[in-house]
Structure 1
Amino acid sequence: MTPEQMRDASLLELFSLEAEAQTQVLSAGLLALERDPTQADHLEACMRAAHSLKGAARIVGVDAGVEVSHVMEDCLVSAQEGRLLLRPEHIDALLQGTDLLMRIATPGNAVGPSDIYAYVALMGRLLDPASAPTPTPVSLPPPAPELPMAELQLEPPVSRFELSELEPLQVNSAELARPAKRVTEGGERVLRVTAERLNSLLDLSSKSLVETQRLKPYLTTLQRLKRMQSNGLRALENLNAQLKEQSLGLEAEEALEEARRLLAESQQLLAEQTAELDEFAWQASQRAQVLYDTALACRMRPFADVLTGQARMVRDLGRSLGKQVRLEIEGEKTQVDRDVLEKLEAPLTHLLRNAVDHGIESPEQRLLAGKPAEGLIRLRASHQAGLLVLELSDDGNGVDLEQVRRSIVQRQLSPAETAAQLSEEELLTFLFLPGFSLRDKVTEVSGRGVGLDAVQHMVRQLRGAVMLEQKAGEGSRFHLEVPLTLSVVRSLVVEVGEEAYAFPLAHIERMCDLAPEDIVQVEGRQHFWHEGRHVGLVAANQLLQRPVSQSSAATLKVVVIRERDAVYGVAVERFIGERTLVVLPLDERLGKIQDISAGALLDDGSVVLIVDVEDMLRSVEKLLNTGRLERIARHSQQAAQVARKRILVVDDSLTVRELQRKLLLNRGYDVAVAVDGMDGWNALRAEDFDLLITDIDMPRMDGIELVSLLRRDNRLQSLPVMVVSYKDREEDRRRGLDAGADYYLAKASFHDDALLDAVVELIGGARA
C-alpha cells in the first residue's frame, strides 16, 4: 500500500466525522431560523458550517459535497445580506441538502450524479426562479481502498455516542493528515476509545479500589502488634525492677539489658513502619478513588448526544401531518452513561412521534381551542437521587378517555360494565398493553400495534419505570426514571445461606422486620399485611437454592420487591447494608444464570451476586403454579410459643377457613390453613401440628384421601383428626370415621361452641 492510499483513507474517514458534526450544527440552526428567519447568530453558524463542509469536501476531493455545500452557502449568505428572506420552502431545501451531505459523507450510501444535479437545480430555482444555474459535473467520493490486515490495525467499531466525542473541526489539510489525535476548542486532545476498553478500565479501577481496602485490616493488625510490644516492654521493665532485688550474675544482667534493647528497637521500627503504611494506605485509597471516578466519568456523556436529529424529526413529522410542532429541550448537559443513552434513543423517539401524532392537534383545531397554531413538546432531563429523570410533555389535547373505554370493550379486554367504572389511572394503564392502539387505520406513524408497551419494555430493560399523566384538552406528560449508569448500581446487600446477594434499590419497595404474629396463611400461602394489601412471603434460600438458615432471631428480615403489579416479600437471613456496586458482567460461557444478573466486589474483596429481580419474580410465579413454594419455618415463633398447640385447617372455602381460623385464634390456638388436601398434605409433612381439621369435598385431594395418607404415615398416624363437612348423612359420617377421623362435625349444625368444644375434647386447651 502506498502512503498516498493510506492518507486518502484517513481523509475520507475524517470527512465523515466532520460531516456528522457540521450537519448537526446545520439542522439545529435551520430549525431555529424556521421560527425566526432573521436571527443573525444562527445564520452565521449555518453559513460557517456549510463553508467548512465545502472546504473539507474540496480537500478530500469529494466534488459532490463541494457542489451541495456551495449552493447551500450561497442561499445562507443571501439571507445574511438581506437579499433573501428564508421561507419554509427554503428551510425544507436546506434541510434536504443537509441530509444529502450526510449521505455523501457516509460510505456505502448510493448517491448518484443525478441526485446532485437535481438538488443544485432546486436551489437555483429557489434563489433565482428566472435563471436556474447549470450545475457542473460532480464526482462522488471514491471507495476507501481495501487495506490488508497486516498493514492496518483496525479498532473495533465504535457507536454513534463514541464518535460524537469529537468536537467540530475547523478543517485544514494539516489537521486532516493527523487522524490519530484531535484537539478540542479548549486545547485538550481527544482520542477515540472503544466501549470494551472503557469497560475494562472501569473494571480494573474498581478492583484497584477494592484492593486498597484490604490494607485497612493489615494496618489494624500492625497497630495491635504495636500495643502488644508496648505491653511486653512494660512487663520486661517490671521484671527488671524485681530482679534488681536479687543478686544476678554479670551475664544475666547483660542478657536482660540486651532483651530490653532489642525489644525497644523493634518497637521503634514497628511504629515507624506502621506510620508509613498508614500514610501509604491513605494515599493509595485516594488515588484509587480518583482513578475509579475518572474511569467512570469517561463513560458519561451529555444527554444531548441522544437528541441528535430529534428536533428535526419532530419538525418533519409535524409537517408531513399538516401540523406545526416545535421541540424544546432542557438539561442537554445532564451527564448519563453512554450505554443508557444508547438504549434511550428508541423509546424517546417513539414517545416524540407519539406526541406529534396523537397529542398535538392540527393548527385549525388549536386556534379554535384558543391555543397557538404551533404545538409545543417539552423534553426535560435532570438528576434526582441517583437517577436520570426525563419528563416529556406536550400541550396537545390529552388522551380521549372515552375512546380508550370503547377500545377496551371492542378488543374484549374488559366487559362494558367494568370498563365504565375504570378510573383515569386504570384506563391509562391499558395504553401500555401489547398491541393496544387508538388508531384503527394503519399509517406510516400509527396503527401498527407497536405502542407504548415497546417503550415500557425498553425502559424496564434499563431497570427503570415510565408513567403517564394527562389533562383533557391540555396535554399529556410522560415521566421516565432510569439509572444514570448501568456500570454502577445502588443496592441492598443481604445474606442468604451464608452468601452475599445484592438487590438493586430501584426494585425495592421497602425493608422490614416481621414479627412471627404478622405472618398469616391466606389461600394456603404465607402472607403479611403491607400498605393495605396481603403480600406473599417467599424464602430467598429456596429461590436461590441455598441451605436453610438456623437463625433464632426474634424477627424475620424481609425485602419487599416490586415489578409492575407483582409484589412479594423475600425473607433473608441478614441485612448487610446499602452499597454502591460496580457491575461486573458474568462470563458469557456461564449463559443466563437463573435469578442473577451480574456480580460485584464488596469493600473487603468478597464477591456478591446481583439479583435479577424480574427473573426472580418469574421464578416465584413458577413455584406458585407448580405448588412447590415452601413455607418459611418460623423458628422464633415456635420457640416463643412452645406451649401453644398448633392446628391445621384444610378447606377449599375461604369463608369457612377464615371463620374457623379466627375462632381458634381467639381461643389461643396457633392456626395454619391449607386450600385443599394436597396443600394440607404438604403442610403436614413440613411442620408439626397437634390437630388436623379437614373438609371432605375438595379439589386435587379430598379429605378422605388426606386422612388415609396420614394414617399410613409413621410420624403422623397418631395425629388427632376432625372432619367438618356439609354432608350429615350416616354413610358420610361412617366413611370419614372409617378412614381414620377421630371426630365428625356437620357444617349444617355448625356453631362456634360446637367446634371449640370438639377441639378441647380432642387435644385440650390452647396451652399445654
Structure 2
Amino acid sequence: MTPEQMRDASLLELFSLEAEAQTQVLNEGLLALERNPTQADQLEACMRAAHSLKGAARIVGVDAGVSVAHVMEDCLVSAQEGRLRLHPEHIDALLQGTDLLMRIATPGSENVAASDIDAYVAQLNELLDPSGRVAPQAAPLAFDVSQLLLAPQPLVEPQWLLQPEATPEPEAQAIPDPTREPVRRPQRLTESGERVLRVTAERLNSLLDLSSKSLVETQRLKPYLAALHRLKRMQSTSLRALDTLNEQLKVSGLTHEVEEALNEARRTLSESQQLLSEQTAELDEFGWQTGLRAQRLYDTALACRMRPFADVLVGQERMVRDLGRVLGKQIRLEVDGEKTQVDRDVLEKLEAPLTHLLRNAVDHGVESPEQRLLAGKSAEGIIRLRMSHQAGLLVVELSDDGAGVDLARLSRIIVERQLSTTDTVAQLSEEELLSFLFLPGFSLRDTVTEVSGRGVGLDAVQHMVRLLRGAIVLEQTSGQGSRFVLEVPLTLSVVRSLVVEVADEAYAFPLAHIERMRDLAPEDIVQVEGRQHFWDEGRHVGLVAASQLLQRPSSQSDDETLKVVVIRERDAVYGVAVERFIGERTLVVLPLDPRLGKVQDISAGALLDDGSPVLIVDVEDMLRSVDKLLNTGRLERIDRRNRHTAELTRKRILVVDDSLTVRELQRKLLINRGYEVAVAVDGMDGWNALRAEHFDLLITDIDMPRMDGIELVTLLRRDNRLQSMPVMVVSYKDREEDRRRGLDAGADYYLAKASFHDDALLDAVVELIGGAQT
C-alpha cells in the first residue's frame, strides 16, 4: 500500500469516527425538534452536524456524503431562518438521511448506489420550494419495519470526538498534498473533557483482579503490626521489672559488678525499645499509606468497568419513535437516570432485554391515538424509563400510560391454549395470571406480524435477567398502563455478600438474594406436613441446614439458638441454618477453574480481608437442591433442643419395622433392659427420625414400603454424620444371599426373625453398643 493509500485509509477511518459522533447528534436533535420544531439550540446543533459532515466528506472525497449532508443542511438552514416549519414528514426525511450518512461512512458496509443518493436528494427537495415555504403535504416516507426489528447490535464503546468549529468552505476543495504534515486523529473526550482510550475487557479484568489481590495483601500487615506493638509492651514490662530488681538489690546490697551489669541490661533494653518504636511507627505509616493506595487502586480499577446507562440507550429513542410511526401511534420516550453507573458487562446483557421491553410497550402497551382520545387521554402516549441504584442493585423501571393488560382476554387465551383449566384460572391472582406472559411461545397476538406475535419477547427478557442473577416483575393497572421492574446487580465483578460459617468454612450469600438474617429459638421451629418451618413476616418459611446442602459435616455447637439466613429467588423462600454470621463484605468475584465444571450450589470464589478463600453461593442452584431433597424425602431436620442429663446417659435405639407386632416386641425387650427406644413404621419414617435425633443403634427390617431396609442402610452409610452408627438387620429372610445383601449394604449384624429369641437380640445389642448406661 502506497503512502497516499495509507493516508486515504486513515482519512476514511477518521471520517467514519466523525460520522458516528455527528449522526448521534443529529438523531438526538431531530427527535427533540419533532416535539418542538422551534428549539433554536437544537436547530443550531443539527445544522452544524450536517455542515461538519459535508465538509469532512468533501475532504475524503466521499461525494455521496457531500450530497446527502448538503441537502439536509439546506433544510435545517431554512428552518433556522424561519422559511420552513419542520413537520413530521421533514423529520422522517432528515432521519432517513442520517441513516444514509451512517451507511456511507461505515467501512465494510454495503455500497450505497448513486441512484439511492439521487432519489433521496430529490425526495427531500420535493418537501421544499424555492421560496422556502412548506411544500404541499407529501406522502410519508416509506419505512422498512424489518430494519427496526433486527437483533440489537453488541454494545459498542461510544465515540467522543472533539470537532473544531466548522467554517463554510468553497464548493470545491482539493485533498491536501500528501507531503504535508499528516492529519492527526482527534482525541475522544467525555462530557467533562477527559480523554478516552480503548482498553480491552481482558486487561480491565486483569487490572481489577490484581488490585483486589493487592488490597488483600495490605491487610496482611495488620497481624505483624499487632505483634510489634505487643512486643513493645513486653519490653516496657521488662524495663519495669529491671527497675524493681535494681531497687530491691540496692536495699539488700549489691556489688559494683552486678550494678554495672544491671545498668548495661537496662541500657540495651531501652535502646532496643527505642529502635522498635521507631520501626513500628514507620511500618504503621507504611501500612496505612499502602492500604490507602491499594484501596484507591481498587476503586479506580472498579470504576473503569462502570459506564453510564446512557451508553445502552443510544438509538432507543429513535427506535421507539420510528416504530410508533409505523404502527400509526404517537409515542414519546422519557428517560430519567441515564447517568446511572453500571458495569459494562451488565450493560451489554441488558441491551437486548431493554429493546424487547420498549418494543412491547410500543406495540402492546400504548393505544392508537383514536383509542386514547376515546379513553379521555392525550393522543400522544408516553413511555417512561427510569434507572436508579437501590441496595447495591440496578433498578430499571419501564412504564407506559397505555391500556394495561386485558386480564379477561389473557384468561381466555390461557384456557384456549390448554395451559390451565377454566376453574383453576378463575382462582388465580393477577400476579399469577401475568406470569403466563413470560412463558416461552406465549403471545396475546392472534396473528404473527413483523412486530410481534411470535411469543419470544418477554420469555427472552426473563431468560437474560435470570442469567444476570436478577429478577423481573410486571405490574399493571387496567386502563392506566403497565410497569416492568428489573433488578440486576450493578456489577458482575464485585458482589456485596453476607459471609457465614458452615462446618468451620466460610461461605458468602449475595445480599441481593437475602431477605433478612435472624436468630431462631428451638421453640420457634414447627412441624408442618412433616417438614420444619418457622413463622416469618406472616408466613411459614421452610427450614433447611446449610451443612446438608453444601455436603459438610453438621454443626456440633451447644448453642440452642439457630443462625438463619432467609433467602429468596422469585417465589421460593427458605431459611438456611448456618453456624455463625461473620459479617457483610464486598467481594471481588474470582471465577472458578473451568476444569471443575459447574460446582453444585456454588457460583464463584473470592478472598476475604485476611487472604482466606470464600465460596460464593449460587442461591438459585441451592433452591433447586432444596426442591430435589424435598421430592426425595431426604431433607434433614434440625434439632437444637438440649436433652436432660438423665436422657443423655441412656443409650438410644431406633427400631424400624412395618409390623406392629415385631416393633412392640423389640421395643419392650429393649426398654426392659434399660435402653431408650424410638420406633418408625417404615424406611422413610426411620430415615427422617435418624436425621432429626441422636441414636446409638439402628435395628431395621428389610421388606418395608416406601423405603426398604437395604436402601435405608445405604443412605446411612453415605451420610457423614451417621455413617459410623452400628446397624442390626432383623429379617424373616434367612438365606445366605439375603444375609450377604444386608451386610454388603453396611449392616454390622444380621439376625433372622424365624430363629431369634429374646436373649439373642439383647446379646447382639450389647455386643454392638454395650449396656444401656454410658
Asked if these proteins are the same fold (TM beyond 0.5), I'd say: yes
Equivalent residue number for residue 207 of structure 2: 201
Q: Deviations for 1:698-756, whole angstroms, at most 9, x for unmatched residues?
A: 9535899999x99xx9746799xxxxxxxxxxxxxxxxx999999xxxxxxxxxxxxxx
Equivalent residue number for residue 310 of structure 1: 316
Equivalent residue number for residue 80 of structure 1: 80
Asked if residue 372 in structure 1 is aligned to residue 378 in structure 2, the reply is yes
Would the alpha carbon gap of residues 438 and 7 (structure 1) be closer, same or farther in structure 2, given more than 3 Å must change?
same
2:385 touches 2:397 (CA, 8 Å); kept in 1? yes
Counterpart selection for 2:424 from 400, 418, 422: 418
Equivalent residue number for residue 556 of structure 1: 562
1:311 touches 1:327 (CA, 8 Å); kept in 2? yes
Q: Deviations for 1:305-359, whole angstroms, at most 9, x for unmatched residues?
A: 1111111111111111111111111112122221221111111111111111111
Asked if residue 678 in structure 1 is aligned to residue 683 in structure 2, the reply is yes
Task: State the distance in 1 between where 2:642 and 2:96 align.
Answer: 75
After TM superposition, list the pairs within 5 Å mapping 1:280-291 onto structure 2.
280-291=286-297
1:486 touches 1:583 (CA, 8 Å); kept in 2? yes
Task: State the distance in 1 between where 2:182 and 2:49 align.
Answer: 17
Task: State the distance in 2 between where 1:705 and 1:284 align.
Answer: 59
Task: State the distance in 2 between where 1:481 and 1:468 align.
Answer: 12
Task: State the distance in 1 between where 2:697 and 2:28 align.
Answer: 78
Percentage of pairs with the same residue: 78
SS in 2 for 1:642: helix
Task: State the distance in 2 between where 1:688 and 1:512 align.
Answer: 26
Equivalent residue number for residue 336 of structure 1: 342
Equivalent residue number for residue 763 of structure 2: none
**How much has 1:514 moved relative to structure 2?**
2.6
Task: State the distance in 2 between where 1:474 and 1:186 align.
Answer: 40
1:329 touches 1:380 (CA, 8 Å); kept in 2? yes
**How much has 1:446 moved relative to structure 2?**
1.6
Comparing 641-650 with 453-462, which one deviates more in the overlay? Answer: 641-650
Task: State the distance in 1 between where 2:711 and 2:195 align.
Answer: 81
Task: State the distance in 2 between where 1:318 and 1:679 align.
Answer: 61
1:524 touches 1:673 (CA, 8 Å); kept in 2? no
Equivalent residue number for residue 122 of structure 1: 123
Task: State the distance in 2 between where 1:301 and 1:175 align.
Answer: 36
SS in 1 for 2:127: helix
Q: Deviations for 1:445-493, whole angstroms, at most 9, x for unmatched residues?
A: 2210214232222222222222222111111111222222222211110
Output the amino acid matched with 1:576.
I
Q: Deviations for 1:293-315, whole angstroms, at most 9, x for unmatched residues?
A: 22222222111111111111111
SS in 1 for 2:287: helix
Equivalent residue number for residue 363 of structure 1: 369
Task: State the distance in 1 between where 2:61 and 2:710 align.
Answer: 93
Task: State the distance in 1 between where 2:26 and 2:677 align.
Answer: 74
After TM superposition, list the pairs within 5 Å mapping 1:334-733 onto structure 2.
334-627=340-633, 629-632=634-637, 634=639, 636-638=641-643, 642=647, 677-683=682-688, 686=691, 687-688=693-694, 700-701=706-707, 715=727
Equivalent residue number for residue 320 of structure 1: 326
SS in 2 for 1:535: strand
Output the amino acid matched with 1:683.
N
Task: State the distance in 1 between where 2:224 and 2:17 align.
Answer: 52
2:601 touches 2:618 (CA, 8 Å); kept in 1? yes
1:359 touches 1:476 (CA, 8 Å); kept in 2? yes
Equivalent residue number for residue 60 of structure 1: 60
Would the alpha carbon gap of residues 533 and 130 (structure 1) be closer, same or farther in structure 2, given more than 3 Å must change?
same
**How much has 1:2 moved relative to structure 2?**
4.8
Task: State the distance in 1 between where 2:7 and 2:599 align.
Answer: 48
Comparing 86-95 with 454-463, which one deviates more in the overlay? Answer: 454-463
**How much has 1:160 moved relative to structure 2?**
6.3
Mind listing any 5+ residue stretches in structure 1 that lack a counterpart? 132-158, 653-669, 720-736, 743-768
Q: What's the RMSD between the two structures over aligned residues?
A: 3.8
Equivalent residue number for residue 269 of structure 2: 263
Output the amino acid matched with 1:562.
R
Asked if residue 164 in structure 1 is aligned to residue 158 in structure 2, the reply is yes
**How much has 1:255 moved relative to structure 2?**
2.5
Task: State the distance in 1 between where 2:682 and 2:207 align.
Answer: 58
**How much has 1:585 moved relative to structure 2?**
2.3
Q: Deviations for 1:7-44, whole angstroms, at most 9, x for unmatched residues?
A: 44443333323222221111111111112222211111
**How much has 1:645 moved relative to structure 2?**
11
Would the alpha carbon gap of residues 187 and 216 (structure 1) be closer, same or farther in structure 2, given more than 3 Å must change?
same
Asked if residue 107 in structure 1 is aligned to residue 101 in structure 2, the reply is no
**How much has 1:689 moved relative to structure 2?**
6.3
Would the alpha carbon gap of residues 456 and 645 (structure 1) be closer, same or farther in structure 2, given more than 3 Å must change?
farther
Task: State the distance in 2 between where 1:175 and 1:476 align.
Answer: 59
2:159 touches 2:188 (CA, 8 Å); kept in 1? no
1:180 touches 1:191 (CA, 8 Å); kept in 2? no
Equivalent residue number for residue 731 of structure 1: none
SS in 1 for 2:438: coil
Task: State the distance in 1 between where 2:726 and 2:507 align.
Answer: 40
Asked if residue 27 in structure 1 is aligned to residue 27 in structure 2, the reply is yes
Q: Deviations for 1:60-110, whole angstroms, at most 9, x for unmatched residues?
A: 333322222122111111111122222221111111111112222222211
Task: State the distance in 1 between where 2:446 and 2:756 align.
Answer: 65
Would the alpha carbon gap of residues 212 and 187 (structure 1) be closer, same or farther in structure 2, given more than 3 Å must change?
same
SS in 2 for 1:51: helix
Output the amino acid matched with 1:226.
K
**How much has 1:443 moved relative to structure 2?**
0.9
Task: State the distance in 2 between where 1:693 and 1:563 align.
Answer: 41
SS in 2 for 1:308: coil
Would the alpha carbon gap of residues 645 and 313 (structure 1) be closer, same or farther in structure 2, given more than 3 Å must change?
farther
Counterpart selection for 2:224 from 195, 199, 218: 218
Q: Deviations for 1:398-418, whole angstroms, at most 9, x for unmatched residues?
A: 110101111121122222122
Task: State the distance in 2 between where 1:165 and 1:85 align.
Answer: 32
**How much has 1:637 moved relative to structure 2?**
4.0
1:524 touches 1:679 (CA, 8 Å); kept in 2? no
Output the amino acid matched with 1:76.
L
Would the alpha carbon gap of residues 103 and 581 (structure 1) be closer, same or farther in structure 2, given more than 3 Å must change?
same
Output the amino acid matched with 1:65.
G
Task: State the distance in 2 between where 1:673 and 1:123 align.
Answer: 91
**How much has 1:280 moved relative to structure 2?**
1.9
SS in 1 for 2:120: helix
SS in 2 for 1:119: helix
Equivalent residue number for residue 673 of structure 2: none
Comparing 179-188 with 267-276, which one deviates more in the overlay? Answer: 179-188
Counterpart selection for 2:299 from 293, 298, 306: 293
SS in 2 for 1:164: coil
Mind listing any 5+ residue stretches in structure 2 that lack a counterpart? 133-152, 167-175, 659-675, 717-724, 732-752, 759-774
Output the amino acid matched with 2:342.
V
Task: State the distance in 1 between where 2:253 and 2:263 align.
Answer: 15
**How much has 1:649 moved relative to structure 2?**
12
SS in 1 for 2:647: coil
Output the amino acid matched with 1:115.
D
Task: State the distance in 2 between where 1:101 and 1:299 align.
Answer: 31
Q: How many pairs align?
A: 677
2:698 touches 2:726 (CA, 8 Å); kept in 1? no
1:300 touches 1:336 (CA, 8 Å); kept in 2? yes
**How much has 1:6 moved relative to structure 2?**
4.3
Task: State the distance in 1 between where 2:703 and 2:118 align.
Answer: 86
Equivalent residue number for residue 51 of structure 1: 51
Would the alpha carbon gap of residues 199 and 689 (structure 1) be closer, same or farther in structure 2, given more than 3 Å must change?
closer
Output the amino acid matched with 2:428.
L
Equivalent residue number for residue 96 of structure 1: 96
Task: State the distance in 2 between where 1:213 and 1:639 align.
Answer: 46
Equivalent residue number for residue 729 of structure 1: none
Would the alpha carbon gap of residues 593 and 112 (structure 1) be closer, same or farther in structure 2, given more than 3 Å must change?
same
SS in 2 for 1:603: coil
Equivalent residue number for residue 750 of structure 2: none
Q: TM-score, normalised by structure 2?
A: 0.79
